[in-house]
A = this chain, B = another copy of it.
């Protein structure tokens, strides 16, 4: 297990989907930061199942409790322990499957790794673990916003074959949340919504892409050579359930371009800084932020839990037809939006402290 992330702003998560609770310990958050449970709850509510007809009908209350690290609404500089008790445990839904490894789930690999397997539905591979990341990420985000004015916005830019064209300079969370599908472009959102409902009716699932922008990140963040800003973002995003790809700036499209068309020319910026007239670098050069918006995409596969029957084998290799009964999301993308934001915040908060460390003037 490796349930910790970060060097100085460090989060450790715990909890199985059907155990007593899920939580996180945030160690290294500077002292004196104003923080309330409501700020964390707000992001948890965006991740919560049962928000709309597009997500799983499971209703989880997901009430955050702050167990330590705060006094009179200010952080102490000590570990902030965050806990959400599980209230809606229905392990029975999963019990029938216990002899059959679900295709493209973690059942088989957990069994091969740990020699045994959580009977109760996926354990740490469950999307429920991301709740702890969102809670911890909300702390990181508060720190980044208050000390640096940083703004992080993610949205659903693609579902299946449907892609949205967004004005990326103006997009904000309010626009993103207008649609349950969390695509801020209304026409694409409508088509995406219809597609997800069709997929849901077919007892299937569908993949997509989340795009994320981080604004006002100061130049100089990111630690060459192994903890480059894009490298830590890539790790953070690929650690999410169902994530299959990561791209920064021009991403895979860069493969088809020439240097003369891809390079971002410098122009004069405010206060004797420089800007670039294009941002194909996605705000990062040499692994270090350059002051332009950080921009990246995360591709998610369709959730592996589907209602349709699947031909597979049990742990003994005997052919079986598997039919899902659990209540799951036809499309994880809308709920993935706050999770992507949380992981981006955790990466940036850690690199902020690391860059700060070396400034010994």
Contact = CB atoms under 8 A, between A and B. Distances in A.
Interface in A36-85: 65-72, 74, 76-81, 83
A32 B111 CA distance: 12
Contacts of A199: 258
B249 A239 contact: no
Nearest to A81: B14
B30 A358 contact: yes
A113 B352 CA distance: 11
Interface string A257-282: 11110111111110011101000111
A284 B105 CA distance: 10
A78 B128 CA distance: 14
Interface string A146-171: 01000000000011110000000000
Q: Is the interface of A mostly helix, strand, loop or mixed?
A: mixed
B67 A21 contact: yes
A186 interface: no
Given A104-B264, A251-B299, A23 B304 contact: no
A220 interface: yes
A221 to B, nearest CB: 8
Interface residues on A, range: 35 or more
A124 interface: yes
Contacts of A317: 267-269, 272, 274
Among the interface residues A27, A311, A354, A357, which one has the most CB atoms of the partner chain B within 10 A? A357
Interface string A102-125: 011110111011111011100111
A13 interface: yes
Interface in A319-361: 352-360
Contacts of A228: 238-239
Nearest to A158: B255
Contacts of A116: 31-32, 74, 76-77
A237 B25 CA distance: 23
A190 interface: no
Nearest to A309: B260
Interface string A227-257: 1101111111111010111111111101111
A288 B109 contact: yes
A308 interface: yes
A89 interface: no
Contacts of A291: 112
A293 interface: no
A273 to B, nearest CB: 8
